[in-house]
Amino acid sequence: MNLNDVSPVENYDGDFPLAVINPSSNSLTEVMCAEDEMNSIAGFQGIVGQSSALREVLQQVEMVAGTDSTVLVEGETGTGKELIAYAIHNASQRYGRAFIKLNCAAIPLDLLESELFGHEKGAFTGAIAQTIGRFEMADKGTLFLDEVGDIPPASQTKLLRVLQEQEFERLGSGRTHKVDVRLVAATNRNLVDMVARGQFRSDLYYRLNVFPISVPALRERREDIPALVSHFVKIFSHRMKKQVDSIPPETMAAFQWYSWPGNIRELQNLVERAVILSRDGVLRNPLHKKKIELTISSVQRIRTFQSPMTSDDTNRTLIVGTLEQLGWVVGGPNGAATKLGLKRTTLLARMRRLGISRPITQEGTKMVGMAPESIC
């Protein structure tokens, strides 16, 4: 099957059932089995989702994988750029050969060149033995350079040469080494702007940018969030030997509507926290202390895919969350109606239909039932 055969995640009316791995059993839930089948059909290990944005990326991976062309994977931190690089390697003729990775931002600048090309004994202080670099390690395979925008100018020149000539010298040696390496680079920086500012070589940029792939931020593929949450719940509940049977609608709604500045990495960390806090087999909302930003654009995105809750549940959670964020102001340029892209009268009518009213505390007494019309 191809990517178009991948079925979307099932739509649920109520709690999200998750018969995840029981510590005393190897059985999986129907939902998890469907998720694993979806991943195996797609043929991209570790990549979870079925959104159009993700499908487009994977189609680009399929197109370029069979070539030896250099690929530049662009995207925000935490979007899964390394997984895309690994998918390119696994779908290529170099599958089974070495997949070597190096985070250029994690290596001190004075050691980066040695990490890339290796060094001879005595090449510099502390070089007590001959060391091969990542290019030699990746010979006949794939080298993944993450955060390539952090490479200093001197090393950019040498990187350009090895990409053009497929040859280099170790530090402290005059011997030229030939290699056969397929390069996949990644960055969360705007290399075009860096070129314009003279911070990145234009000729190296063009050499890297043979086939660019832009990985979407998580907020641009919100329909993948239920599958990702289920995927991480499965992993962490098994690791912690905890049973998680369901995800309440309000918890999943919080996951879907949060802006996710840290992308999938942040989602993974928060699901881990939620599994730790889970009780009685229920996954609790770990975002209750975070400010969930609901913009008009994000609301419109949410409405473009099938909600896992009923439409009334979805609207009620969305409206109450927006009102709470804005101090229960309905009208005006900074009110909930504007935030939701609705007319004030339309929002008031929906609040009446859904029974939404503002909780009020007066002298320590909570008074509920205020008519929507009286809310500012």
Q: What is the pLDDT of residues 250-294, one digit of tens each?
A: 888 889 888 899 999 999 999 999 999 998 899 988 886 554 444
Q: How far is 194 from 203, CA to CA, in rounded Å?
A: 12
Tell me the residue length of the chain.
376
Domain boundaries defined on the chain: 52-218, 310-376
Q: How far is 133 from 117, CA to CA, in rounded Å?
A: 4
State pLDDT tens for residues 94-137. 999 999 999 999 998 878 988 998 877 876 777 778 788 899 99
Beta pairing partners, 214: 74
pLDDT band at 26 (very low <50, low <70, confident <90, very high): very low
| CB-CB contact of 38 with 6 (8 Å) | yes
Q: How far is 30 from 19, CA to CA, in rounded Å?
A: 7
| CB-CB contact of 176 with 169 (8 Å) | yes
Place of tokens 């832009």: 214
At a CB cut-off of 8 Å and minimum separation 6, what does 72 contact?
148, 185, 186, 187, 191, 208, 209, 210, 211, 212, 213
Place of tokens 């009208």: 331
pLDDT band at 313 (very low <50, low <70, confident <90, very high): low
Provide the pairing of β-strand 142-146 with 182-187.
parallel
* Distance set, CA 139 to CA 33, 40, 135 (Å): 38, 29, 6
Provide the pairing of β-strand 71-74 with 211-214.
parallel
pLDDT band at 188 (very low <50, low <70, confident <90, very high): very high
Q: Does the structure show a pLDDT above 80 at 83?
A: yes
Q: Is the entire prediction scored with pTM above 0.75?
A: no
Q: Looking at residues 301-318, what average pLDDT do you find?
A: 55
Place of tokens 């509920």: 368
| CB-CB contact of 310 with 265 (8 Å) | no
State pLDDT tens for residues 189-205. 999 999 999 999 999 99
By CB atoms closer than 10 A (0-12, 13-18, 19+), residue 149 is: buried
Instruction: Please name which of 211, 210, 212, 162 lies closest in space to residue 190, comparing C-alpha atoms.
Output: 212
Q: Within 10 Å of residue 19's Cβ, how many Cβ atoms? A: 18
Ramachandran region, residue 252 (left: φ > 0; alpha: ψ -120 to 50; beta: rest):
alpha
Q: Is 362 helix (H, G, I), strand (E, B) or coil?
A: strand
Question: What pLDDT shows up at residue 131?
Answer: 85
Q: Does the structure show a pLDDT above 50 at 295?
A: no
Provide the pairing of β-strand 176-178 with 182-187.
unpaired
Question: What pLDDT shows up at residue 335?
Answer: 85
Q: How far is 80 from 67, CA to CA, in rounded Å?
A: 22
Structure tokens, 275: 């599994």
Q: Does the structure show a pLDDT above 90 at 176?
A: no
pLDDT band at 25 (very low <50, low <70, confident <90, very high): very low
Q: How far is 286 from 283, CA to CA, in rounded Å?
A: 9
Instruction: Please name which of 188, 220, 230 lies closest in space to residue 298, comparing C-alpha atoms.
Output: 220
Fold of 52-218: Rossmann fold (3.40.50)
Q: What is the mean pLDDT of the chain?
A: 79
For residues 28 and 282, which has the higher predicted lDDT (pLDDT)?
282
Q: Does the structure show a pLDDT above 90 at 334?
A: no
The H or E element that residue 101 is part of is strand 99-103
For residues 347 and 310, which has the higher predicted lDDT (pLDDT)?
347
| CB-CB contact of 242 with 280 (8 Å) | no
By CB atoms closer than 10 A (0-12, 13-18, 19+), residue 90 is: middle
Query: Which letter does DSSP use for residue 281 in this model?
Result: T
Q: Looking at residues 1-24, what average pLDDT do you find?
A: 32
Percent of the chain, pLDDT > 70?
A: 76
Q: How far is 276 from 284, CA to CA, in rounded Å?
A: 10
Rg (CA), the chain: 25
Helix axes 81-90, 52-65, angle to 10 degrees: 40
Structure tokens, 205: 């940029």
